[in-house]
Structure 1
Amino acid sequence: MKKTQCLPQRLALAVSMAFTATGIYAQTDATYPTIPLLGVQDVTVGCKQHIQNYHNDVKQLEQTKNNTSWFAMWDKFNAKQQDFMGPVEILSQVSPDATLRQHAEDCIVEYTKFTTDLYQNEIIYQKFKQSAPRDAIDTKFKQDNLESFEDTGVGLSTEKKVQLKNILEQLTQLSQEYDRNVRENKTKLEFTADQLKGLPESYITNLKKNAAGHYLLGFEYPEYNPFMQLADDDQARQKYYYEFTRRGTEKNLAILKNIMDLRYQMAQIFGYPSYADWATKNRMAKDSKTVNQFLANVKNFVTPLQQQTLDQLQAFKAKTLNIPLSDAKIQPWSTSYWGEKYRKANYQVDQEQLRQYFPTEASQAWLLAITSHLYGMRFEQAQVPVWQKEVRYFNVFDAKTNQFLGGLYIDPFPREGKYGHAAVWPIYGSSTLTKRTPIAVLVTNFNRKGLNADELETFVHEFGHAMHNILSKTRYVGQAGTSVERDFVEAPSQMYEEWAKNLQPLSQLSHYCSPACPTVDQALVTRLNAAKNYGASIQYARQTLYAQYDMSIHAADALQKDPMTVWKNMETQTSLGYMDGTEFPGQFGHLVSGYGAGYYGYMWSQVIALDMLSAYKGNLMDSQVGQRYRQTILSQGSQKPATELIKDFLKRPTNNTAFYQEIGGQRLK
């Protein structure tokens, strides 16, 4: 999940009746707020003008005497910034125009300078300190903003303020360069027809060839993932794996080291021993010690389970190829391939065949429908200006009151220069105070014909983030949607993944297929979940490695560490080991774009997500529970701490029972 980083506090996706698609794709004539399509001049000239206007607004805020309306004035100011910077942020990632993307990135750098000045403004800080909250929401809003000012150095000396400002500006530029090196890598690898054996004809026919008749493959996930799962040629998979990990180029290793050092310097400015300690202080975990202990516990639990799974795969490989067990070691580039082979043999699960069950368009219609049913809403597709012809836009309404809730853009398919993963950008946040409605952009890179089970789960996950934004009904923009603690933000989306794995909602997907597609039945769901449970230990072991690596390079000895050396040493100690020459840290975008010293949050929030599922008591389409979840979690944004939100929904504190069952592959549903 990707978050718009407009504020310093964010420095740092069997039903008894068939759902009807009525209204989902209906055209609507009503006009609602949408994202303006900015051109190059809009961004270059507009950026300077808007930032100058923001500076003028700050001067007016400094002079205001009416502290009783301070929160409202601040909220209006936040919204004004979002109105321009929200569109700039998303266009920097998805615009087909490379020049526009570059100018948008430049604008974000200039905006970072402005926000640093703003949150180092002692006059504005004192306005907040002197403000009088009316209730608990105001109190939380005040505290959140005070923390933002303090985290940007409002209390520092003049010299340290300047130092911090320079660091924040450099971090923004380095993050952009790192992402750009991955996103805009146009390298194409050559493979012969023999090297593509095992891949379906539908995959091969979409590939381009060079003059020699060799197939050309790039680094888009719809090309890479099927190849790694299905290509029989082990050396070809090794080659692709090697190049894929290096797609950020060695430049990104130097950038990552620079980011590590700057973050360490920033922590030192604030008197913290490490960036990890500084970054976790306002999260659920509170400190790096708690995070490291959590990750150590998970590692101790999952490591022997992963080894058991790899031993099974090795034995399966030896039997399949009729080779000695000692010659059948599972390599990092072969886990997906042999895992897929094992699932086909033991669970009759073929990820490519699943695309006929989950056609891309039908999957979208189904997802809109089950979400509508669960949360009491409806989607109406509307024709609005979009940055690329395949982008869709939907107005979202409350089903009972017909109240307009917000707007959703879906940018579904890969293209050159586009953000390469799946993520949601909250462009505009909600504010009941000003009747402001949210807009979210969901970006994916899916196969146009159909999804496999993992991709469907990704779609549902990201849709969960979009709903967290659109169903937000917060008083203030600054507390809208996914502004919650970083180690809670994934929980709503991770919980929603269950709807992509359960018969009750899945059995309805075929109703949206045209032409007809097979219906998901209990036997298939059982096989899918058994297959997924089988690979859970490998997945969680890998996630633990990523999180521990993240914490390690942001520890107190960060200055003495080389990011590639740390990664090589850590991966070498795992059951799969390290492949010489690979450079995973150079393309691990989470490290530089909001999840630095925060990647642990994916597993931390998974504990919460799996526990929250218990409220449905096995009936995932219980709209009464869905409505209660909408009101207690999704609509609240960060108006309350995450621990209170969880208690409001579960009526108790969370526990980790379901999480460890999941890791151990014991959660059969």
Structure 2
Amino acid sequence: MADIAAMATKIIATEKTQLSALKQIPAAQRTFQNTVAALDLIQNEAQTAFLKIDFLMNVSPLPEVREATKEAVDVLNRELIELSYDEGVYRAVKEYAALGEVLQGPEKKLLETTMRAYRRMGFDLLSEVRTEVKENAKKRAELGTEFGKNINDWKDHIAVTRDELAGLPDSYIAGLCRDDKGKYLVTLEYPDFVPFMESAQNASKRQELADKNSRKGGEENLTILAELVKLRAENAKLLGYKDHADYKTEDRMAKRGQAVGEFLSGLRDGARPLVAKELLDITALKREDTGDKEAEIHYYDVAYYSRMLKEKRYDMDEQKIKEYFPLAAVKNGMFEIYQTLLGVTFTRLEGYKLWHEDVELYEVRNTDGALVSYFMLDLYPREGKYSHAAAFNLVNGHLHKTEGGEGAYVPPVACMVANFPKPIEGNPSLMSHYNVEVFLHEFGHVMHHVLTQAAYPSQSGFATAWDFVEAPSQMLENWAWEHESLKLLTKHHETGEVIPADMVEKLRKARLHMIGHDTMRQLSFAIFDFKIHTEPFGTPLKEVLRNTLIDLMGVAPSPVSLQPAGFGHMGGGYDAGYYGYLWLRVYAADMYTRFRDGKVLDPEVGKAYRQWILEKGSSMEEIDLVRGFLGREPNNKAFLESIGLGG
């Protein structure tokens, strides 16, 4: 563990030395390359080392490593923030800017974003105010790390008998651990939790599991989040912004909080009738199922009766569908789709020692054999691991060149982390159709990062505006719905047959099933996030979220719920930004229109997508990337159709 602490010390010392050299360049000799581009490289080198330590905190199987990396992350957050406030470095950038050199393209954008970042750090303010802003940033970084770690470390389960597993398939039951009394343990991990809530016939056990899940993160995280919200409001006020939402949206596509508020309000009003109708439908089904004419839907019923209604209404059997999606077949088919579309090849590399034996390492090459990048897959759950699905950037692709030199491109590296059931002998890990979408989505993030050709690391890969970053991967979820791509993604785990065309049609017809509920649930969290970062609140955060969910969803959450203690996005990054998941779907749906009508595997459209959306990162304004790919102004027609509000 001493090695991790030593690594943190080295990162800080190296950046100090590099920044010192940058500051010593005479003002008259400053150039874009030796000042602005050099600063970007210096900060990237430290950030890359930091990301690797932070990544280990999320994936290491060793608790002592996770604890040591957490301590190192806290130290690095404080020290790197301190270094970012070096007035000598700021003066160096201003000296270059004062030369008035005319810049174009990525260089012009990099200088503008660098100067804007300094303004957003308070460099235009009095020294004592800037110090307050700096200390505020340190506190927020430390609390955000603690918030996320508390969620990752949270463990709980319920114990059930074999009879209490009625409704669940044998393949699910075979994957459960058992206690010393022979009872089956259902954990809060995704592969256990979601199927149980959807299919377990025992309502009291569904309630017990839902109650435990609603307390993820614990009371401590409620305290941390309240402090984070307070610090964010103070930071915005110190910097002269109306509120935290205005501060966060300034450098995003939305540009201002008012635009976000109007967007969320419009969607909320449009989705209300859909939610009301869907709630009536599943309530009627519960009354029919239980024989109780007064029965109401509870928080632990929604997933169960939604699944039952879907199977009844569309003549679908979710378990039969899963038989066509063994994880290995989905992965191989997904690789073939992405390789065909994007003009690349993936080759697994063996013999490298990684953090766990389940992790797979691949290289990416163009069809001419040129090396492009590397990626890793860490797909199965284990104790202490990041509990959701995400793509982590470990090395940012960029052009590394010296003054007057050509340089070479540094290949990017990313890792997809997920928690899919691990295949074991006799159980090939059959995926739900939803999990197939998740796989396509997260691997889409990986492609966004590892196919970058951006020259500067801060503009590389998925380092885009937060309300655009999900759009490229969101668009790629559509490949889970098309006949042509499903032929590659499916292979029955016993017969080897692809999914039948009539089953695909049933899937497609059911695509808008409970779309009002799904959209409004995402809206509820986005509105909660926006509300706590724009309005003063006198009630506890858990009550703010509870009231929001009751108002918008029509179903009260668990009475013992501690949400938003387990709402990981609120720890940092997506604060005042959760709206982005819906905002970006406007662009994702519109971009997909180029692939429709038989072009889902068209290499020419894929080539344009790679060149315009994946390779450029944020070297251009995101709206211009979309315009370039579409060849026209984007619109929301396809998005409204995708959430049942078209026409």
**Which TM class, normalised by the smaller chain length?**
over 0.9
1:484-523 aligned at under 5 Å gives the runs 484-510=464-490, 516-523=495-502
In the alignment, is the contact (CA less than 8 A) between 1:133 and 1:142 conserved in 2? no
1:52 Cα offset (Å): 1.2
In the alignment, is the contact (CA less than 8 A) between 1:82 and 1:428 conserved in 2? no
Structure 2 match to 1:3? none
Structure 1 match to 2:181? 212
Output the TM-score relative to the length of structure 1.
0.90
1:500-579 aligned at under 5 Å gives the runs 500-510=480-490, 516-557=495-536, 560-574=538-552, 575-579=554-558
Alignment of 1:259 with 2:238, yes or no, is no
Alignment of 1:106 with 2:71, yes or no, is yes
Structure 1 match to 2:160? 191
Alignment of 1:447 with 2:447, yes or no, is no
In the alignment, is the contact (CA less than 8 A) between 1:267 and 1:275 conserved in 2? yes
1:210 Cα offset (Å): 2.3
1:150 Cα offset (Å): 2.0
Deviations 1:379-433 (A, max 9, x none): 000022210000001000011x321111001000000000000000111111134
1:110-259 aligned at under 5 Å gives the runs 110-129=75-94, 130-131=96-97, 132=101, 134-259=103-228
Alignment of 1:637 with 2:606, yes or no, is no
Q: Secondary structure at the match of 2:594?
A: helix
In the alignment, is the contact (CA less than 8 A) between 1:510 and 1:516 conserved in 2? no
Deviations 1:47-92 (A, max 9, x none): 1122111111111111123422223422431342244223112111
Structure 2 match to 1:395? 363
Structure 2 match to 1:417? 384
Q: Secondary structure at the match of 2:346?
A: strand
In the alignment, is the contact (CA less than 8 A) between 1:393 and 1:410 conserved in 2? yes
In the alignment, is the contact (CA less than 8 A) between 1:119 and 1:154 conserved in 2? no
Structure 2 match to 1:368? 335
Q: Secondary structure at the match of 1:273?
A: coil
**Greater RCO, 1 or 2 (C-alpha within 8 Å, sep 6+):** 1
1:320-469 aligned at under 5 Å gives the runs 320-324=289-293, 326-327=294-295, 329-383=296-350, 384-399=352-367, 401-433=368-400, 434-448=408-422, 449-469=429-449
1:12-23 aligned at under 5 Å gives the runs none
In the alignment, is the contact (CA less than 8 A) between 1:536 and 1:665 conserved in 2? no
- Structure 2 residue identity aligned to 1:199: L
1:451 Cα offset (Å): 1.0
In the alignment, is the contact (CA less than 8 A) between 2:121 and 2:133 conserved in 1? yes
Deviations 1:218-250 (A, max 9, x none): 210000000000000111111111110102111
Structure 1 match to 2:254? 285
Output the TM-score relative to the length of structure 2.
0.93
Structure 1 match to 2:17? 56
1:557-636 aligned at under 5 Å gives the runs 557=536, 560-574=538-552, 575-618=554-597, 619-636=599-616
The total of aligned residue pairs comes to 623
Structure 2 match to 1:77? 42
Structure 2 CA distance for aligned equivalents of residues 385 and 133 of structure 1: 48
Structure 2 CA distance for aligned equivalents of residues 351 and 430 of structure 1: 41
In the alignment, is the contact (CA less than 8 A) between 1:275 and 1:556 conserved in 2? no
- Structure 1 residue identity aligned to 2:304: Y
Structure 2 CA distance for aligned equivalents of residues 353 and 147 of structure 1: 54
Structure 2 CA distance for aligned equivalents of residues 541 and 191 of structure 1: 32
Q: Comparing 648-657 with 513-522, which one deviates more in the overlay?
A: 513-522
Structure 2 CA distance for aligned equivalents of residues 208 and 424 of structure 1: 28
Q: Comparing 639-648 with 94-103, which one deviates more in the overlay?
A: 94-103
Change (3 A) 1:155 1:547: same
- Structure 2 residue identity aligned to 1:413: Y
In the alignment, is the contact (CA less than 8 A) between 1:119 and 1:153 conserved in 2? no
Structure 2 CA distance for aligned equivalents of residues 100 and 199 of structure 1: 36
In the alignment, is the contact (CA less than 8 A) between 2:210 and 2:558 conserved in 1? no
Deviations 1:496-547 (A, max 9, x none): 0001121111112246x77643312332222112223112111001011010
Structure 1 match to 2:633? 653
Structure 2 CA distance for aligned equivalents of residues 145 and 518 of structure 1: 54
1:561 Cα offset (Å): 4.8
Structure 2 CA distance for aligned equivalents of residues 666 and 517 of structure 1: 38
Q: Secondary structure at the match of 1:117?
A: helix
Structure 1 unmatched runs, 5+? 1-39
1:471 Cα offset (Å): 0.7
1:162 Cα offset (Å): 2.5
Q: Comparing 125-134 with 223-232, which one deviates more in the overlay?
A: 125-134
Q: Secondary structure at the match of 2:633?
A: coil
Structure 2 CA distance for aligned equivalents of residues 510 and 610 of structure 1: 24
Please point out which of 245, 248, 253 is paired with 1:276. Answer: 245
- Structure 1 residue identity aligned to 2:354: V
1:177 Cα offset (Å): 1.7
1:665 Cα offset (Å): 7.2
Structure 2 CA distance for aligned equivalents of residues 311 and 336 of structure 1: 14
Structure 2 unmatched runs, 5+? 401-407, 423-428
Structure 1 CA distance for aligned equivalents of residues 37 and 259 of structure 2: 37
Structure 1 CA distance for aligned equivalents of residues 497 and 289 of structure 2: 30
